[in-house]
Chains A and B, each alone.
Chain A
Amino acid sequence: DVKVTQSSRYLVKRTGEKVFLECVQDMDHENMFWYRQDPGLGLRLIYFSYDVKMKEKGDIPEGYSVSREKKERFSLILESASTNQTSMYLCASSGSPTDTQYFGPGTRLTVL
């Protein structure tokens, strides 16, 4: 089975802190994605990566950056956390653009 893991299930940070969210997949997938999920808004794509060291902006990249140094790991970085970044963050991976995306359990981030 494909396994996508995220470093934390719950995280509480303060405004202005630098925040790292980590995602690891164990299926040698090329493509990895970061979404945020908010009530009434569904899932929105923040960034995605289709290869090591490659990244593309999604629909809402402002305030975020990403890092993909190794194929299995995709990190989401909040350079200076703000309260409007309080959300559920979901990571996903897929073997190719047309393959099924497999999701991690999510990280619920609260910024105080």
Chain B
Amino acid sequence: GNSVTQMEGPVTLSEEAFLTINCTYTATGYPSLFWYVQYPGEGLQLLLKATKADDKGSNKGFEATYRKETTSFHLEKGSVQVSDSAVYFCALRELGGSQGNLIFGKGTKLSVKP
């Protein structure tokens, strides 16, 4: 079945550090890939997405490239801020999948210290 595996947290970084959160997937078709972010006390928000191989999603300084050959969609940011502290979820949706259901990873908690 389809699944998403992302690195376990928590991840603690100092402000301005480089961030990578690894995400790999297993899917029978050609999924769309997503990163969602959940700030403390809030629901999930879409951070970025990519719908086909070699696409790069980007938003708020975050980037992720859809790598079909390594079935990966790693999240990166060059210089994190305290305000980036949140839980990050990688997710996939398979094209033609039942009503567009998302399959989520377990989430990675990021804490950024001043």
Contact = CB atoms under 8 A, between A and B. Distances in A.
Interface of A: 4, 31, 33, 40-45, 48, 50, 56, 58, 90, 92, 94, 96-106
Q: Chain B's interface: helix, strand, loop or mixed, by majority?
A: mixed
Interface residues on B, range: 20 to 34
A13 to B, nearest CB: 21
Given A42-B107, A106-B42, 11 more contacts: A43-B102, A43-B104, A45-B101, A48-B99, A58-B101, A97-B97, A98-B93, A103-B36, A103-B44, A105-B42, A106-B43
B45 A103 contact: yes
B43 A42 contact: no
Contacts of B107: 42
A90 B49 contact: no
B32 A98 contact: yes
A102 B32 CA distance: 16
Interface of B: 32, 36, 41-46, 49, 89, 93, 95, 97-102, 104-107
B49 A100 contact: yes
B43 A104 contact: yes
A56 B97 CA distance: 13
Contact of B43 (A44, A50, A90, A94): A90
A42 B100 contact: no
Nearest to B96: A97
Indicate the member of A50, A58, A101, A102 with the most B CB atoms within 10 Å: A101
B102 A101 contact: yes
B98 A56 contact: yes
Contact of B106 (A31, A40, A58, A96): A40
Indicate the member of B45, B100, B104 with the most A CB atoms within 10 Å: B100
Contacts of A42: 89, 104-107
A101 B97 CA distance: 15
A90 B41 CA distance: 12
19 contacts: A4-B43, A33-B101, A41-B106, A42-B104, A43-B102, A44-B104, A45-B101, A45-B102, A90-B44, A92-B44, A94-B100, A98-B93, A100-B46, A101-B100, A101-B102, A102-B46, A103-B44, A104-B43, A105-B43
